[in-house]
Structure 1
Amino acid sequence: MDYTRLGRSGLSVSRLVLGTMNFGPRTSEADAHTIMDLAHGHGVNFFDTANVYGETPGDGVTEEIIGRWFAAGGGRRERTVLATKVYLPTGDWPNEGRLSALNIRRACEESLRRLQTDHIDVYQMHHIDREAPWDEVWEAFSVLRQQGKVLYFGSSNFAGWHIAQAQEAARSRHFLGLVSEQSIYNLMNRWVELEVLPAARHYGLGLIPWSPLNGGVLGGVLRKEREGGASRGTSGHSAAALARHREAVAGYEKLCADLGEDPAHVGLAWLLAQDGVTGPIIGPRTAAQLDGSLRALDITLDEGVLARLDELFPAPGLNGGKPAPEAYAW
């Protein structure tokens, strides 16, 4: 396993992040425990979850599954860099969501209880709160840090200017601020390259891509379609994305076939090659899917392949895929 620092922090994390959203809804507890054991066996030490993951939003089932795995001992908690999230509602009453000091305190305590641990390594805001002032948010977070309940803080689904707001507010308090941003990022969704990724690099945040295969569309969906197999990429939002980009996806799968590599592994390898990316989140439903994802770490994409991928899935912007402000002007 390869490791890197999480943003400008001194924390070392694996270059693949184990996503746990399937634990409970699609993956049984026994299988989830097996997957986490295998992840440790392969050196994956960075686990990502959220307080709303589970059978129904807010029931906390996924955190509870992880907590019972930690409780089995054997150094499981000690070897894990644990990230969870706060923001989305966990109930119907006021203050059971968002980023008020009250909800931050309450949500953190509930996550600690479910996870059966005394601290969270990376506590992430699941979304920007347009109503909570940064003074309130950072004061609440600083209390958690002083209490030893949280070590680092991250964001998710932030715009570039949200990252700047957060970091400047933290700087004014002489606080470390954010060390990571979790965004949707894949070959088909490259909008973070305009401002989010440059902002993350500037402020020293590691970027953690979610949906690295765009809901399965980049995982060999056309091949599976020809073979008569089921695929996530042929339903819901993924089906609409496939319909819009079918020609590009066909070219992508041909390129992967020419390389002798699985499309899913190439999609992950492309993200690993991007400057500023800490590691993509993989969300295996089975142990076999976890094992397969590790292949991405051994794939090196040469300049010719990277150029061809840019042709199939062009970077956003008007001036040759440059980041802002060059993307908009000169």
Structure 2
Amino acid sequence: MKYTYLGRSGLKVSKLCLGTMNFGVDTSEKEAFRIMDAAVDAGVNFFDTANVYGGIGSRGKTEEIIGRWFAQGGGRREKVVLATKVFGDMENPDDGPNAARGLSAYKIRRHLEASLQRLQTDHIELYQMHHVDRNVAWDELWEAFLVHVYQGKIGYVGASNFAGRDLVKAQYEAKNRHFLGLVSEQHKYSLLCRLPELEVLPAAEEYGIGVIAWSPLDGGLLGGNALNPAAGSRSSRNQERAEKRRSQLEAFSRLCKELGESEANVALAWTLVNPAMTAPIIGPRTLEQFESTLRVVDIELNADVLKQLDEIFPGPGGSAPQAYAW
């Protein structure tokens, strides 16, 4: 495994981040344990989850599975850089009118304590805002996070689904408090979703915010089976979208075949080319899927291959404003 710093922090994480959204939904607890054991054995030390994972009616279930895996001991907790999130509705009637999606000092405190209990740990390395909430002032947000950093319950603060302007505002307000601010931004980014190249990725790079790519396979569309999915598979749910992209996906498959690599691994390796990128999130449903992604960090895409990928999946043309103005 290869490692890199998480943004401008001194924390080193693996260049593949284990996503756990499937745990307890499409992946049984037993299989989730196998995947997490294999991840640690392979040197993947970066695990991402969220308090809402588990699905409607079962929110928190994924964190509980991870907590029971930690509880087995054997150094499992100590070997993991753990990331979870706050923002969503946890379906807890005690939250009352504050149950709705959003951020507040009240919600951050309550939901952090609940996550710690489910995860069976006393600290979280990376606590992420799952979405921006522009109804809450940074005076409130940074004060809330600072309390928990000083208490040792969280190590670093991250964001997810922030616009470029939100990243800049967050860092400006953090600097006024002599605080490190955001160390990461988790953002949707893939060969089929390159809009972040306009504003978010340049802003993150400039401000030392490590980007973590979610949905780097665009919901399985770049996984290689989208045009010929097995009945009932996740790819079959994307059949209509895949047909609209048929010419692109077929060209992509031909290129990957020439490279001798799977479509999924090429798509993942491509995200790591961007200098702002810390790691793509891999979301395996099975141990075999996890093991097949491990060679991603060793795949090198040369200039000619990158040019061909740009031709198949055109981006916005660079960063703003040069992408659309003189």
CA deviation map 1:302-322 (0-9, x unaligned): 111110000000011xxxx12
Give the whole-Å Cα distance in 2 for the aligned partners of 1:142 and 1:168: 15
| Alpha-carbon contact 1:222-1:250 (below 8 Å) kept | no
| Alpha-carbon contact 2:63-2:115 (below 8 Å) kept | yes
Deviation (angstroms), 1:130: 1.6
- The structure 2 residue matched to 1:94, chosen from 93, 97, 102, is 97
Deviation (angstroms), 1:231: 4.2
2:70 is aligned to 70
Q: 1:171 to 1:26 in 2, by over 3 A?
A: same
Give the whole-Å Cα distance in 2 for the aligned partners of 1:85 and 1:131: 18
| Alpha-carbon contact 1:63-1:114 (below 8 Å) kept | yes
Give the whole-Å Cα distance in 2 for the aligned partners of 1:259 and 1:278: 24
Give the whole-Å Cα distance in 2 for the aligned partners of 1:136 and 1:157: 19
| Alpha-carbon contact 2:63-2:118 (below 8 Å) kept | yes
Give the whole-Å Cα distance in 2 for the aligned partners of 1:233 and 1:299: 24
Letter aligned with residue 171 of structure 1 = K
Give the whole-Å Cα distance in 2 for the aligned partners of 1:58 and 1:10: 35
Give the whole-Å Cα distance in 1 for the aligned partners of 2:207 and 2:257: 38
| TM-score after normalising by structure 1 | 0.94
| Alpha-carbon contact 1:51-1:58 (below 8 Å) kept | no
| Alpha-carbon contact 1:190-1:315 (below 8 Å) kept | yes
Q: How does 1:20-99 map to 2 (within 5 A)?
A: 20-56=20-56, 59-91=59-91, 93-96=96-99, 97-99=101-103
Deviation (angstroms), 1:57: 5.6
- The structure 2 residue matched to 1:111, chosen from 99, 111, 115, is 115
1:233 is aligned to 235
1:212 is aligned to 216
Please state if 1:8 is matched with 2:8.
yes
| Alpha-carbon contact 1:164-1:199 (below 8 Å) kept | yes
| Alpha-carbon contact 1:234-1:242 (below 8 Å) kept | no
Deviation (angstroms), 1:221: 2.2
Letter aligned with residue 56 of structure 1 = I
Please state if 1:270 is matched with 2:273.
no
Deviation (angstroms), 1:94: 1.4
Worse-matched range after superposition: 85-94 or 195-204: 85-94
Please state if 1:189 is matched with 2:188.
no
| TM-score after normalising by structure 2 | 0.96
Unmatched runs of 5 consecutive residues or more in structure 1: none
Give the whole-Å Cα distance in 2 for the aligned partners of 1:32 and 1:200: 32
Letter aligned with residue 299 of structure 1 = I
Give the whole-Å Cα distance in 2 for the aligned partners of 1:48 and 1:307: 31
2:321 is aligned to 325
| Alpha-carbon contact 1:272-1:280 (below 8 Å) kept | yes
Give the whole-Å Cα distance in 1 for the aligned partners of 2:325 and 2:183: 30
2:296 is aligned to 296
| Alpha-carbon contact 2:59-2:90 (below 8 Å) kept | yes
Letter aligned with residue 7 of structure 2 = G
Secondary structure of the residue that 1:56 maps to in structure 2? coil
1:198 is aligned to 202
Unmatched runs of 5 consecutive residues or more in structure 2: none
